[in-house]
């Protein structure tokens, strides 16, 4: 074995040890978990506008776990549950809302995986207090059980060849049970201590269906349905190690 090979065999373990030593000095933990609560807001044909139906806002709860890749990026697994609701009768304008009287409800159970970017690059760094904004995107599924209701529909108010025919089509169309979603959002964490933070977050789910509310042809088939959430929560560092907590020196 020549001298160059011997040097490589000696240097490689030393570099590896140095890397892991520096790695441990930079990061205080690799895992985080949290819980949150807030509201689900439905957007679609039975909402007043693009901002969604705040008249039928519903509670939402969730849990998440995150694996920190580096100071900027992490992977998150998210579980949320709650419900969605839409109701024409909540609005007096336009006038047709009180005559159409479409409504729906559905429970929502959601699983998603997301890629998050910490804008200030504060992931798992030693910090007692401070803000950490982040953005995220990913993919997931929503489990639904849509219950549509058109029992108060005033057929004499609407044209039978347009809205009436559309309702007949909607009535026999199957409502979705499992839907793919693309969650995109942003949040802000505030560290109370190195191990604990509170957060505020908004999360918009893009979907490829117009039957989240059970209606399409009788409403606005050109507009897809979606939903989003606002939430507040807490985040806990798991396996936290204080980088300043050095072992005692023995004589």
Q: How many CB atoms lie within 10 A of CB 30?
A: 16
Domain tally, the chain: 1
CATH for 226: 2.40.160.20
Answer whether residue 163 is part of any domain. Answer: yes
Ordered per-residue pLDDT tens for the chain, 251 residues: 555 544 444 444 444 434 333 444 567 889 999 999 999 999 999 998 889 999 999 999 999 999 999 999 999 999 999 999 999 999 999 999 999 999 999 999 999 999 999 999 988 776 667 899 999 999 999 999 999 999 999 999 999 989 999 999 999 999 999 999 999 999 999 999 888 999 999 999 999 999 999 999 999 998 899 999 999 999 999 987 875 554 444 44
Residue 159 is part of which domain span?
27-204+221-238
Residue in 2, 85, 80, 72 with CA at minimum distance from that of residue 35: 80
* Three-class secondary structure of residue 29 per DSSP: coil
Q: Which residues pair with 236 in a beta bridge?
A: 33, 196
- Give the C-alpha distances (Å, rounded to integers) separating 129 from 89, 122, 196: 47, 11, 9
Rounded to the nearest angstrom, the gap between the alpha carbon of residue 30 and the centroid of all alpha carbons in its chain is 21
Answer whether residue 130 is part of any domain. Answer: yes
Answer whether residue 2 is part of any domain. Answer: no
* Inter-residue contact 223 to 24 (CB < 8 Å): no
- Give the C-alpha distances (Å, rounded to integers) separating 233 from 34, 199, 200, 236: 7, 5, 7, 10
Q: Give the C-alpha separation, 27 to 45, whole Å.
A: 48
Q: Model pTM?
A: 0.84
CA dihedral 102, 60, 175, 52 (to 10 degrees): 50
Answer whether residue 10 is part of any domain. Answer: no
Residue in 146, 150, 57 with CA at minimum distance from that of residue 103: 150
Tokens of 87: 């109701």
């Amino acid at each position: 074995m020549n001298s160059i090979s011997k040097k490589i065999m000696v240097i490689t373990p030393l570099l590896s040890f140095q890397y892991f030593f520096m790695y441990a000095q930079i990061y205080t933990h690799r895992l985080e978990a949290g819980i949150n609560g807030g509201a689900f807001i439905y957007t679609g044909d039975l909402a007043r506008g693009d901002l969604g139906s705040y008249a039928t806002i519903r509670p939402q709860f969730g849990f998440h776990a995150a694996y920190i890749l580096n100071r900027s990026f992490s992977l998150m697994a998210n579980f949320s549950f709650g419900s969605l609701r839409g109701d024409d009768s909540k609005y007096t304008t336009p006038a047709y809302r009180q005559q159409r009287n479409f409504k729906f409800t559905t429970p929502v159970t959601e699983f998603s995986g997301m890629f998050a970017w910490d804008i200030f690059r504060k992931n798992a760094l030693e910090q007692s207090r401070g803000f950490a904004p982040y953005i995220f995107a990913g993919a997931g599924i929503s489990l639904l059980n849509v219950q549509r209701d058109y029992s108060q529909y005033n057929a004499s108010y609407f044209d039978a060849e347009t809205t009436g025919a559309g309702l007949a089509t909607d009535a026999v169309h199957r409502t979705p049970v499992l839907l793919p979603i693309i969650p995109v959002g942003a949040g802000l964490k505030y560290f109370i201590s190195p191990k604990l933070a509170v957060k505020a977050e908004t999360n918009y789910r893009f979907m490829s269906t117009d039957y989240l509310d059970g209606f399409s042809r009788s409403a606005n088939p050109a507009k897809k349905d979606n939903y989003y959430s606002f939430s507040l929560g807490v985040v806990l560092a798991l396996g936290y190690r204080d980088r300043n907590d050095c072992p005692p020196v023995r004589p």
